[in-house]
Amino acid sequence: MRWTFQEDIDTNKVQQLAKELQVDTAIAKILCQRKIDTFEAAKNYFRPSLESIHNPFLMKDMDLAVERIEKAIANKENILIYGDYDVDGTTAVSLVSSYLKTIHTQVSTYIPDRYAEGYGISYMGIDYAHDNDFSLIIALDCGIKAIDKVAYASQKNIDFIICDHHKPGETLPKAVAVLNAKRVDCNYPFDELCGCGVGFKLIQALGVSRNQSIAHFLPYLDLVATAIAADIVPMNGENRVLAYFGLQVINDAPRNGIKAIINQTKKTVLTITDVVFIVAPRINAAGRMKHGNYAVELLTEMDFETALDFAASIEIFNADRKDLDKKITNEALIQIIDNDEEERFSSVVYQEDWHKGVIGIVASRLIEKYYRPTLVFTKSGTKLAASARSVKGFDVYNALEACSEYVEQFGGHKYAAGLTMLPENYDKFKAKFEEVVAKTIDKKLLTEEVFIDSEIDLSEITPKFFRIIAQMAPFGPMNMKPTFKTTCVRDNGYGKQVGADKNHLKLNVFQGDNKNTFNAIGFNLGDKLTLVKNDFDIVYSLDENEWNGRKSIQLLLKDLK
C-alpha cells in the first residue's frame, strides 16, 4: 500500500478545539480534518438530532408528487411501487409501500427480474401495470434516464413519480414529478441521499398534512440505514443523522424481516459495518440468486414466524451465492495466472457459465488480489454481459466509452459499470480496453492507497481515547473510521499466521520500553509474518475485541512495513 497522510491542519485551530472539547490533540486533529472545527459543529456531530433532518418540500417537485399521490388516494386508484433489485431498491420499495398501505388500500409492489428485464424501469413492468389497472407508478432508485419508458407509460395513461439519486442526463423524463437532489434546478440542502433516502423524504412529505412529525417515521429508519450502508453513499450531513437513528432502530426495535436476519447470527449489537457485511448481503442475495421480491416480502412481513421462514430461505440463497462467488473467483484467478497477466494494466476474464448475479462481486475480489481495473464477462442469452470495477482514482466509465465501438450497451459510474456486447467482439474489446488503461492510468494508482489521519504512540490509546473514536460512528465515505500510524513497534514473539489458509496475521505489539501489549489482527497480511522479527511500522484502525466475556481494544492492521 501507499501510505498517505491526510492534509495538514492549522496547529492553532487543533489546539483550540482540543482545549474546548477537552480531548487529545490527535482527536481534535481528526475532527478538524473532517471540517468539524468548532464546539457547536462537534456537538452536532457527536449528538445527531432529528431536528436537523430537512424539510422534504425543499426538494424540487415534492409538492407535485404529494399532490398526485393524494389524488390517487382520493380517487381509489391502484398505485404500483417499482424499485431496483438491489438493497437500495428493495428497501426503498419496502419503505414506501409499507407506509402507503397505512393510508391507502390499493398498493402493490414490483421488482424487475435481474435476468429477464435487467436494471431499472422495464417495458415488461409497464405492461404489467397496464394489464393490472395501475394508473400511477412510483419508481424508486431508478428511472432518472428512463425517458422512452416514461413516454411509453404515458401512452397507456400511466403516470410516473420518479425518486432517484443517480446523476440525471441533460433531459429529464416527462414524469409528474422527478425527485432527485442532483437535479441542477433542485436546491435541496443535501444531494447525496440514497434511493431509499429519497423514498423516505416522500413519505415524510406525505405525513405533513396528516400532522405526523419526524418521530412518527423513526420505525422506517432501519430500512434507510441499511440502504445508506449498502449503497456506500457519503456518511455525512443528513445521511449520518438518518443512519445514526436507523442503527438505534436496528438494535432496539427492528422490523420483523431485519430481526429475522439478525436472529440467524450471533450478533447482539450491530454496527454499520455489521449492516454492510451481515444484513445487506442477505437482502442482496435474493435478487442475485432468485428474485428481489423475496427481499421485499421479508422486509414487509408483519408476522415474525413467517419472517423467520423467509430469512431461512434467503440464508440458503446467500450460502449459494458465497459458494458460487468463491468458485468463480478461483476460476477467474486461474485464467489470470494462465495468461500471465501480472504485467498487464487491466484484468478481463470470461467464462460462459458464470452466474450473472455474482460477477460484480467476483470483479471486486479480483481487484483485492491484483488491484487493477477489472471486467468479468459471462454469457447472457446470445450476448456477453460484464460487470466492471475500478481502482481508486481511475474512471472505468470513461475507459469503456473509449471502447464503445465494440460495446452494445453500457452504463454506470466512475468505479462500477455494466455492459453487453456481441461474443465476436470480446477479443478485440479486451485488447482495446488494455490499451486504453495502459495509456491513461497513472501507474501509482495500481498500488492501493491508505489514508492516515494521525501518527500516535501506542501509549495514547486509552479507554477514553477509544470511547471518543467509537462515538464518531457510524462510519462510511466522508466519515471513515480513523486510521493511525505508529512507528517502531515490536511483536512479543508470539506472532503467527491464522485462518484456514493461514492468510491472516495475529500479533501482540508493544512500543519502546512500555511492555503493555495490544492484540493486533491483519486480515490477508499473513505473508508479512517475516517482517515482524525486528522493529516495524504499522497503519491500523481501532476495534473492540470480545473474548470469553472480556472486552479489549484491538488494532485492526491495514498494512505494515
How does DSSP assign 511-551, residue by residue? Answer: ETTEEEEEEEEETT-GGGGGGGSS-EEEEEEEEEEEETTEE
The pLDDT of residue 93 is above 60: yes
Beta carbons of 474 and 243 less than 8 angstroms apart? yes
Taking the C-alpha atoms of residue 347 and residue 421, their distance in angstroms, rounded to an integer, is: 17
Hey, what's the cell of 286? 435474493
* Opening angle at CA 233, ends 228 and 235, nearest 5: 80
Q: Among 115-129, 339-353, 385-399, 473-487, which stretch is predicted with the lowest mean pLDDT?
A: 339-353
The pLDDT of residue 97 is above 80: yes
| Backbone angle region of 200, left / alpha / beta, with phi > 0 → left and psi within -120 to 50 → alpha | alpha
Higher-scoring residue by pLDDT: 77, 501: 77
The average pLDDT across 226-255 equals 95
Q: What pLDDT, on the 0 to 100 scale, is given for residue 340?
A: 60
507 membership: H or E segment, kind and range: strand 504-511
Domains 56-313 and 339-446 share a fold: no
Residues in the chain, overall count: 561
The pLDDT of residue 443 is above 70: yes
Q: Among 167-171, 282-286, 339-343, which stretch is predicted with the lowest mean pLDDT?
A: 339-343
The average pLDDT across 341-360 equals 88
Other CB atoms within 10 Å distance of the CB of residue 403? 22
The confidence band for 240, taking pLDDT boundaries of 50, 70 and 90, is very high
Q: What pLDDT, on the 0 to 100 scale, is given for residue 541?
A: 97
Other CB atoms within 10 Å distance of the CB of residue 142? 27
- Tens of pLDDT, residue by residue over 484-533, are 999 999 999 889 999 988 999 999 999 988 878 999 999 999 999 999 98
* The CATH number fitting domain 2-6+450-560, selected from 2.40.50.460, 3.30.470.20, 2.30.40.10, 3.90.1150.10: 2.40.50.460
The average pLDDT across 465-474 equals 96
Residue (of 390, 423, 321) closest to 114 by Cα position: 321
Taking the C-alpha atoms of residue 191 and residue 232, their distance in angstroms, rounded to an integer, is: 14
Fold of 339-446: Diaminopimelate Epimerase; Chain A, domain 1 (3.10.310)
Q: What pLDDT, on the 0 to 100 scale, is given for residue 500?
A: 87
How does DSSP assign 98-139, residue by residue? Answer: HHHTTT-S-EEEE---TTTT-SS--HHHHHHHHHTTEEEEEE
The rounded mean pLDDT for the chain is 93
Hey, what's the cell of 292? 428481489
The pLDDT of residue 338 is above 80: no
The average pLDDT across 436-457 equals 95
The confidence band for 349, taking pLDDT boundaries of 50, 70 and 90, is very high
The pLDDT of residue 166 is above 90: no
The ranges assigned to domains in the chain are 2-6+450-560, 56-313, 339-446
Residue (of 430, 425, 460, 225) closest to 346 by Cα position: 430
Beta carbons of 447 and 430 less than 8 angstroms apart? no
The pLDDT of residue 127 is above 70: yes
95 membership: H or E segment, kind and range: helix 87-100
Cα 83 to Cα 60, 86, 161, distances in angstroms: 21, 9, 12
Beta carbons of 349 and 363 less than 8 angstroms apart? no
Taking the C-alpha atoms of residue 182 and residue 190, their distance in angstroms, rounded to an integer, is: 9
Q: Look-up: residue for cell 489546539? A: 15
The pLDDT of residue 5 is above 90: yes
The pLDDT of residue 370 is above 70: yes
Higher-scoring residue by pLDDT: 24, 289: 24
Q: Among 138-142, 313-317, 400-404, which stretch is predicted with the lowest mean pLDDT?
A: 313-317
Kindly provide the b/e burial profile for residues 406-433, where b requires at least 16 CB atoms within 10 angstroms of the residue's own CB.
Answer: bbeebebeebbbbbbbeeebbeebbebb
The pLDDT of residue 342 is above 80: no
CB-side exposure of 260: number of CA atoms within 13 Å?
25
Q: Tell me which architecture the domain covering 56-313 has in CATH.
A: Alpha-Beta Complex (3.90)
The pLDDT of residue 438 is above 80: yes
- Tens of pLDDT, residue by residue over 420-436, are 999 999 999 999 999 99
The pLDDT of residue 471 is above 90: yes
The pLDDT of residue 225 is above 90: yes
The pLDDT of residue 204 is above 80: yes
- Tens of pLDDT, residue by residue over 275-329, are 999 999 999 888 777 788 999 999 999 999 999 998 898 889 889 889 999 999 9
The pLDDT of residue 151 is above 90: yes
Q: In what order do the strands lie in the sheet with 374-380?
A: 347-350, 374-380, 383-389, 416-421, 409-412
